[in-house]
């Protein structure tokens, strides 16, 4: 029995509805319809991150690369290099604030692999406790292709305005916006990696600006 014209219309209407719904969901996850004016005040707070704290001092600050800005659609961001005045070690920290979808899916394993490095081992979780928070970040070591020992450590995680989390799927958090932190630095063979020493000093200042 051939389907009636009315049943075909019903099928077409359902398919169109599903297509429209998927587009709406995708746009919502990517923050496509969020007003920048509503987020600008919070984004501007990133400029208040101190330039010097503990043993660390800012040496370089640069804007997010244009291709990264197009991909991530950040409301605000800062990328900085800090140097430890005692050891001379330098780390790079990026703090991003933007729509949940783009901010959630951009992870360092993709970025660094494209630059000729590869993970030395699976990522794990590192905890950083402050007076006001309990932060958990992913940590992963990278090594240059052809080398045996890792030379770069990267830590990263997301926050919806509270503690940073080493989340598997922050894209599906029930929030419109996300902060992301990513810190990269050398592996020096010391008991505490420069990235970890930096975060212990840095997180108490950052958490005041994102809550």
Tell me which H or E stretch contains 169.
none
Same domain as 40, residue 80: yes
Strands (E), the chain: 52-53, 56-62, 76-84, 90-99, 117-119, 124-129, 134-144, 152-159, 177-186
Residue-wise pLDDT tens digits, 125-151:
999 999 999 999 999 999 988 888 999
When divided into structural domains, the chain yields a total of 2
CB atoms within 10 A of CB 197: 21
Tell me which H or E stretch contains 14.
helix 5-29
| Average model confidence (pLDDT) across the chain | 84
Same domain as 7, residue 108: no
Same domain as 93, residue 5: no
Of 27, 30, 76, the C-alpha closest to 171 is 30
CA distances from 56 to 82, 92, 181, 208 (A): 6, 12, 17, 18
Same domain as 113, residue 12: no
For the chain, percent of residues with pLDDT exceeding 70: 81
Residue 184 binned pLDDT confidence (cut-offs 50, 70, 90):
very high
Same domain as 7, residue 46: no
Same domain as 159, residue 100: yes
Same domain as 92, residue 78: yes
Q: Is 133 exposed, middle or buried (0-12, 13-18, 19+ CB in 10 A)?
A: middle
Q: Which domain holds residue 54?
A: 35-210
Same domain as 101, residue 14: no
């Amino acid at each position: 029995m051939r389907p009636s014209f009315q049943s075909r219309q019903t099928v077409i209407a359902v398919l169109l509805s599903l297509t429209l719904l998927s587009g709406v969901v995708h746009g919502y996850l990517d923050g496509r319809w969020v007003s920048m004016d509503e987020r600008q005040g919070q984004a501007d707070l990133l400029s208040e991150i101190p330039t010097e704290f503990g043993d660390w001092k800012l040496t370089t600050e640069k804007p997010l690369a244009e291709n990264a800005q197009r991909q991530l659609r950040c409301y605000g961001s800062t990328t900085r290099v800090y140097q430890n005045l005692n050891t001379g070690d330098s780390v790079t920290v990026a703090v991003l604030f933007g729509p949940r979808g783009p901010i959630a899916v951009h992870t360092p394993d993709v970025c660094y692999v494209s630059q000729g490095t590869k993970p030395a081992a699976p990522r794990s979780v590192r905890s950083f406790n402050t007076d006001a928070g309990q932060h958990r970040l992913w940590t992963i070591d990278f090594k240059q292709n052809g080398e045996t020992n890792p030379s770069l450590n990267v830590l990263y995680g997301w926050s919806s305005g509270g503690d940073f989390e080493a989340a598997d799927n922050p894209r599906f958090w029930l929030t419109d916006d996300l902060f992301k932190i990513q810190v990269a630095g050398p592996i020096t063979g010391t008991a505490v990696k420069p990235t970890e020493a930096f975060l212990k000093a840095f997180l108490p200042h950052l958490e005041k600006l994102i809550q």
